[in-house]
Amino acid sequence: MDRLDNTVRPYAWGSPTAIPKLLGVEPTGEPQAEMWMGAHPGAPSRTARGTLVEVIDADPKRELGESAVARFGPRLPFLLKILAAGAPLSLQVHPDLEQAREGYADEERRNIPVDAPYRNYKDANHKPELICALTEFDGLCGFRDPARAAVLLEGLGVGSLKPYVDVLRAHPEDAALREVLTAVLTADPEEMAHTVAEAAAACDRLGGDYAPYAGIAHHYPGDPGVIAAMLLNHVRLQPGEALFLGAGIPHAYLSGLGVEIMANSDNVLRCGLTPKHVDVPELLRIVRFEAGDPGVLRPEAAPDGEEVYETPIDEFRLSRHVLPEGGGAHDLTRATPQILLCTAGTVRAGEHELTPGRSVFVPAGEKAEVSGAGTVFRATVIA
């Protein structure tokens, strides 16, 4: 197996302290948002044999296994991250596989540069993802029931929100959510900025259920995404709990530290809380206008102490082992590629000692035995 040297991405929303604290290093004073583990060309992990991209490209079947290559092609199909949100991320959705292929092909036909700020589809893949909390973790996930969203908006006492309240109460679920989100994102910018300012002041004053939206408005004053966010479920994960974000589900991470895994894609359609491009017509094509519970996941027990976060996705499978002191070794050998990540304690993986934030890549079929006292997350595929 290969010890990984991973890149930390300094996005503006990142926490300056959470990742350094996990790694046991001094903060730099700059935001540290995501640590990437995998073979994404934007920031591939480094090994003693070269970057993980170079290692896999040299012999895909040996590194990934024949079944994974046959199923997903000669590339690692997932990206594992440690994510540290110190401020809200953009409100966003991801396409399904068919939508991604169609969107990518269309933008290729129109010769839109892949690095253009107004391009939606960087690749032809979908981007389902799973976030597992390491600390208390706040986020938004999926639409509220329209009637509950109406009560929340009405409680602000902001007159310019009344038309949205009326629509949410009078129309069928999907039509109501679609109409209100469309109206929010296409409203006159000056008028919407004034509405958001009034709503933010009311959220500050009211607190309670409104507190998360006051925090969002503090980071994004005047952004229509503040009102759009109030259409969504607020969820607070406890350590070990997780959220699965499938295609078309609007979501945003607000604060906290977590382990995130996703299909290896960059496709994001933004709804707000961002200075970046918002393509409203394409967004409305992708969003699933369905209300529902955010569906907090808790790990399910499997053999040998493994705890699995079950999802309907084959490109990734996330699980964890909580290893007690003196508990002996666990054999994690699989016929598929793996990344093992320590998040607590000290864990020995083969010849490598892993402390929090340290990780290894295990080629398909290679012996993978872990021992020690701590927590290790295991990322692999189903093939």
Per DSSP, the three-state class of 331 is strand
Q: Residue 340: what residue type?
A: L
49 φ, ψ to 5°? -100, 5
92 near 269, Cβ under 8 Å?
A: yes
Nearest CA among 356, 362, 353 for reference residue 342 = 356
Q: Tell me the HSE value of 265 on the side-chain side, using a 13 A CA sphere.
A: 25
**Per-residue DSSP letter, 171:** S
* CA 208 to each of CA 89, 195, 223: distance values in angstroms, whole numbers, following the listed order: 21, 20, 21
Element (H, E) at 232: strand 232-237
Q: In sequence order, which residues have a C-beta less than 8 Å from that of residue 353 and are 6 or more positions away?
A: 346, 347
Element (H, E) at 259: strand 251-263
Structure tokens at 66: 């024949």
Q: How far apart are CA 234 and CA 204, in angstroms?
A: 17
321 near 305, Cβ under 8 Å?
A: yes
Q: How far apart are CA 178 and CA 169, in angstroms?
A: 13
Residues known to be catalytic: 270
